[in-house]
Structure 1
Amino acid sequence: MTGKALAGLGGFDSTVKSFMQARNIPCGQLAVVRKGKLVLSRGYTWSADTGLKTQPTSLFRIASISKPVTATAVLRLVQDGKLKLTDRVATLLGLSTTADPRLKDVTVLRLLQHLGGWDRAISPDLMFQDLAIAKALGVPLPISQADIMRYASGRKLDHAPGTTYAYSNYGFMLLGRIIEKVSGLSYRSYVQSKVLTPRTVHRMRLGRTLYRTSGEVPYYSTYTGTTVFDNSGKKVSYPYGGFNLENMDAHGGWLATAMDLTRFAGVYDGGSVLNAASIKTAFAKPATGINSDGWYYGCGWMVRPVGTGKINTWHDGSLGGTSTLLVRRYDGLTWAVLFDQRQEGSAPSYSDIDPALHKAADAVKTWPTGDLTSTYF
């Protein structure tokens, strides 16, 4: 265990340790913030490899926690009057609507709320169809985001836009391209300047599939896949070539530390990035897709009402070699937990970390008053 924690928070450490040991997870990380103050920032290592030592500053792929980051950038463009939630995506990006005229009805808001009409339960997830797309278009690997958009626009939607909630990685990839089109900057540059820098987050960066950056943890998977980076048909470790992380920038491509994510999440407690109206929009109920137990997907966040005027908001992430979770509680607690492998086969569930951390938080009767923020930011 590395990093720091204020007194009385040992329950968080024991929770993560036992969770990792039961699943043989080599690298883990946890950060906890209470009312804007960083009270715990840890790295954990469970490995016989003495050269592997997870720090609180080690970078992890965060997978779909990239979505609230992208949504924040979109909401900032709307706030600044450079984009409207009602703007049509096909018009913004010049997408062909010949194959399905309903594509004209996909708006920015519908992308944010996963109401665009693409459904991976019906048609394969477009962001993981590199081999099929390359073959259909007659282009070499690796394919580009433009190739994916051309292929997708040549197919029919699975639902009429606005009628059915269906989680869509492709929809958030499109949001990244909209950010670039409207801002005139690269996706990374806009997010860094308008979302991350105002929160003094400077460690986050976009990941690469085949190469780890300095301080980035390794990723583990028992699965292999056919490389999507050339036409060799070679089998590779799934996290290192079975998918194209570069194409996933806006829906799953960021690297971060757990404390970077809790720091980013502070955007939604008010401040210079988003105003109160934008934050209200992020957490507003969509036109459809309210689940039976009350939770729904807002704009880049999952939202659960927990009482009058109270909500919990969160997002998880999962890729080969990656399992992540970011939680904002109604009572001023925020935490992020990151692992360098995910549930595979008959291994115990990784989603169990969510109730386990809520239990650890609820067990703290007296919270420490200090703040570790200046140590790391």
Structure 2
Amino acid sequence: MELSRRNLGKFAVATGAAAAVGTGVGTTVLSRSADAAATWKTTGTAVTALAGFDSQMKTFMQARGITGGQLAVTYKGRLVLARGYSTSTSLDVQPTSLFRIASVSKSITAAAIMKLVQDGKLSLSTPVTKILTITPPTGQTRDARWSSVTIKRLLQHLGGWDRDLTGDPNFKDATISKALNVPMELKHADVIKYMAGQTINHAPGTKVVYSNFGYVLAGRVIEKVSGMSYAAYVQQKLLTPLKIKRMALGWSIAKHTGEMPYESQYTGRTVLDNTGATVASPYGTFSMRIQDANGGWIASAPDLVRWARMFDASSSVLNSTSLNAIWAKPETGISNGWYYGLGWQVRPTSGGTGRNTWHTGSLPGTYSLLVRTSSGMSWAAIFNRRDDASGKSYADIDAAMWTAANGVQTWPTHDYFSKYFS
């Protein structure tokens, strides 16, 4: 059972395939007005040997009118580049500024599940119905196939829900509010109750379809099994051991200290109440509260590459058994040499001696990319928008970063991790 064409397009950035040899993205300088060029600002330490990364970020952002971006790069476990970028005189983007990371959050939720498994508190083969109470609305019947939705299938997008057919419940706030006669802003329990009365689109385990809802359930499993809030468990068991202190769950409207403003060319109806008011797309057309376990975290790029280092063989948080489970092939859904593991997209390298792993994130006002490579490089790029009048693809940042990496003649020996983590 293969990925649908739509989901294949969402998943399959070029990481590890064409991008591994470079695509030429950014090799031609794109034109922009003198005024716009004059507003280009960078923060963090410039590294001459890695100037190609700065150049690619500048080209990418200026072509799309992105006002805020950030990049961190590691090599052999060392933080060799941490930069903030802006095309706005009013915006100060530091290497430690915070951005919504959207679906890169899924790697965090999957790791939290694996920590519970590692500690003997959970099994990946356990059906979610054995842990959570899944009760449909009065008068409706729960699909019998819920009993086949295991924790592992939630994390590998094999739960059976298909947003291409029936929509993504994480973005059906008004529909759910009306169906359950509950006010917006919705709670996780509202979304789960609504979905408990809906027919599962595919037999669980038979087709990979990207499911935010599956990760909503995974977040609630973490809470039920640990006896802690989702955020508290992640921070205590995963982030604190890595000395990551800035990451947090984001808010729908209010900003954390140091968090960047988000931009979009679109507006929409608010889902934070039942007024139907028109709001800027990043600020109320979706609920950050609902997104928590599938897309709710905020972080800096250095935080993300620090997080990515946890998945190296020398991890002090997850052991080799847990890491092998994260990278293991799913029961179905291998497509064009890559597949979705537990919270990561995975492409084994030729010869089977290594793997490139990655995840993208996208919400109104946010685009993010986190990459780990088989050759010891990793990078995180984050932006404060995902759409603009240019119509250019934001997924192109993947190939741009590979182009920069392949152009490095000699990798620096310094390590900036101690500068940003203590």
TM over 0.5: yes
Identity, % of aligned positions: 54
Corresponding residue to 2:330 among 286, 301, 304: 286
CA contact (8 A) 2:77 2:309 kept: yes
2: CA distance, partners of 1:69 / 1:350: 23
Corresponding residue to 2:378 among 334, 352, 367: 334
1:5 deviates by 4.0
Q: After superposition, give the CA deviation of every residue in 1:162-221 in whole Å (9 maximum; x if it has no partner).
A: 000000000001101000000011100100111111111000000000111111000001
1:118 deviates by 0.7
1:71/1:5 Cα in 2 relative to 1: closer, same or farther (>3 Å)? farther
Amino acid of the structure 2 residue aligned with 1:128: F
Alignment of 1:154-169 (within 5 A): 154-169=197-212
For these two proteins, the number of residue pairs brought into alignment is 374
Corresponding residue to 1:356 among 400, 403, 407: 400
Asked if 1:94 corresponds to 2:133, the answer is yes
What's 1:127 paired with? 170
1:345 deviates by 6.0
SS, match of residue 193 in structure 2:
helix
1:11 deviates by 0.4
SS, match of residue 69 in structure 2:
strand
Give the structure-2-normalised TM-score: 0.87
2: CA distance, partners of 1:103 / 1:246: 25
What's 1:22 paired with? 63
Q: After superposition, give the CA deviation of every residue in 1:266-296 in whole Å (9 maximum; x if it has no partner).
A: 11113221001110110110000001x2110
Alignment of 1:143-158 (within 5 A): 143-158=186-201
Amino acid of the structure 2 residue aligned with 1:152: M
Asked if 1:262 corresponds to 2:305, the answer is yes
Corresponding residue to 1:140 among 160, 178, 183: 183
Alignment of 1:216-235 (within 5 A): 216-235=259-278
SS, match of residue 166 in structure 2:
coil
CA contact (8 A) 2:266 2:281 kept: yes
Alignment of 1:174-193 (within 5 A): 174-193=217-236
Corresponding residue to 1:35 among 76, 85, 103: 76
Asked if 1:277 corresponds to 2:321, the answer is yes
CA RMSD of aligned residues (A): 1.0
Alignment of 1:77-116 (within 5 A): 77-96=116-135, 98-116=141-159
CA contact (8 A) 1:225 1:235 kept: yes
Amino acid of the structure 2 residue aligned with 1:337: A
Corresponding residue to 2:257 among 198, 209, 214: 214
2: CA distance, partners of 1:344 / 1:131: 26
1:6 deviates by 3.4
What's 1:55 paired with? 94
1: CA distance, partners of 2:264 / 2:48: 36
1: CA distance, partners of 2:143 / 2:103: 28
SS, match of residue 268 in structure 1:
coil
1:344 deviates by 4.8
Amino acid of the structure 1 residue aligned with 2:381: V
1:236/1:75 Cα in 2 relative to 1: closer, same or farther (>3 Å)? same
1:230 deviates by 1.2
2: CA distance, partners of 1:345 / 1:80: 49
2: CA distance, partners of 1:353 / 1:154: 40
What's 1:70 paired with? 109
CA contact (8 A) 1:5 1:39 kept: no
Give the structure-1-normalised TM-score: 0.98
1:331 deviates by 0.4
SS, match of residue 314 in structure 1:
strand
Asked if 1:238 corresponds to 2:281, the answer is yes
1:96 deviates by 3.1
2: CA distance, partners of 1:134 / 1:141: 6
What's 2:21 paired with? none
1:84 deviates by 0.2
1:225 deviates by 1.1
1:145 deviates by 0.5
1: CA distance, partners of 2:310 / 2:194: 36
SS, match of residue 44 in structure 2:
strand
SS, match of residue 304 in structure 1:
strand
CA contact (8 A) 1:6 1:370 kept: no
Q: After superposition, give the CA deviation of every residue in 1:74-99 in whole Å (9 maximum; x if it has no partner).
A: 00100100000011102211113733
Q: After superposition, give the CA deviation of every residue in 1:23-58 in whole Å (9 maximum; x if it has no partner).
A: 0000000000111100000000012xx331101010
CA contact (8 A) 2:63 2:390 kept: no
